[in-house]
Structure 1
Amino acid sequence: MSPSGNRRTRWAAGSAVALALLFAGAATVASARGDAEAPAPRTPSARSADAGFARDMAVHHQQAVEMSFIVRDGTEDEDVRRLAYDIANTQANQRGMLLGWLDLWELPKTAPDGQGPMAWMPGGGHSGHDMAGTEGMDHDGALMPGMATRTELDRLRAARGEQAEILFLQLMTDHHKGGVAMARGCAEQCTVSVEKRLAQGMVEAQRSELDLMADMLTARGSAPRT
């Protein structure tokens, strides 16, 4: 089997596991609700770390998917396109799980009044990341740690060839670093066990991709921005 075939097989297996976890969680909630003798299941509140992580990481993942599709059109390099394909598929699947949990918990997909992005993390999750400006000011679209700004996304759309590859790898490196910090925060603070396991899996997978992207940047005579 070719390397790309192996990669697609691993992604398909991972997706099956992720969906199984989601369906298992749904079945557990449905069973608890339907059993009059069982105590009512504990569901997270709208201001909990569980809900905050699900909302914020869904937004964070959406941008990673967007950047992956952008670079697909900006380069013919198979290694970069394959990485972008893996990121887009994995994070789109995880995003569906996160939004599905919010539906199961009957919680809104937007933050409660007075609670902005990252409020569920100590310090708002800003430590170690440049979030230009202060709360209430324009961050040029970068709402959370590691997110690219609108200006950076416009640069990526305009780039071609190796320039697009390098910029994508640098932006996605920043994005993964922010994502790892967020996922680690959930692994430490979230109370729903299946969500904690997903978060820990994100930490491990994105750390591995960070190593891969560093090697890909080195091969192109470049390096991560930070």
Structure 2
Amino acid sequence: GKDIEIAFDELLIGTGKTPNTAGLGLEKAGVVLSNGGAIKVNAYYQTNAPHIYAVGDAADLPKRLETTAGKEGSFAALNVITGVNKSKLDYALVPSVVFTDPAVADVGLLDEEVPAHGLRCMCGTVYLNKLPKSRVIKDPRGAIKMVAEEKSGRIAGIHILAPHAEELINAAMYIVRARMTIDDVIDSLTVFPTMSEAIKLAALSFRTDIDRISCCI
């Protein structure tokens, strides 16, 4: 080999997850695995062997999180006990975070994913230097992007780059899950000054010039 020296300011290590499925004897049961060793399942966590279900990091699922693993286990148990595959997780409603500085968090659909659902998309992006709280904490880094259906105004996704985005995304999740519209968010009162006001500012950006509004509208 050859040694290579590279200078940089910061390093992001994304190690991913390796399913711990080796040695389980799944091949004897005919269970199909992905190329990475994850157990292939359908939307209801059932493998190609009808009597075997798999969840969590071992399964080939859209999101591998501690929170999703617990919920998947509950749903899989219901499907097994009832004998009917009807319980499943909507992964579009599951928030996720990358704990960088500032953090990156998202929930719901990306703008390019909306047309696949037969809908037209409109997007609004607000930079956090517009937020009073960012000036208070002297950290204006980041932005928030809101994705909404053009016709109904229903909020389909919220994506955040901000200090403590991991806290903001929980409120965003409730908005997307409750199928709130842009105007629902605009008509809601928030505490001033807070970082979570960024969500309301993103909604307001669809209706008005946020550079010309009161701080407490």
> TM-score, normalising length from structure 2?
0.25
Larger Rg: 2
Name whichever structure is richer in strand by fraction.
Answer: 2
Name whichever structure is richer in helix by fraction.
Answer: 1
> TM-score, normalising length from structure 1?
0.24
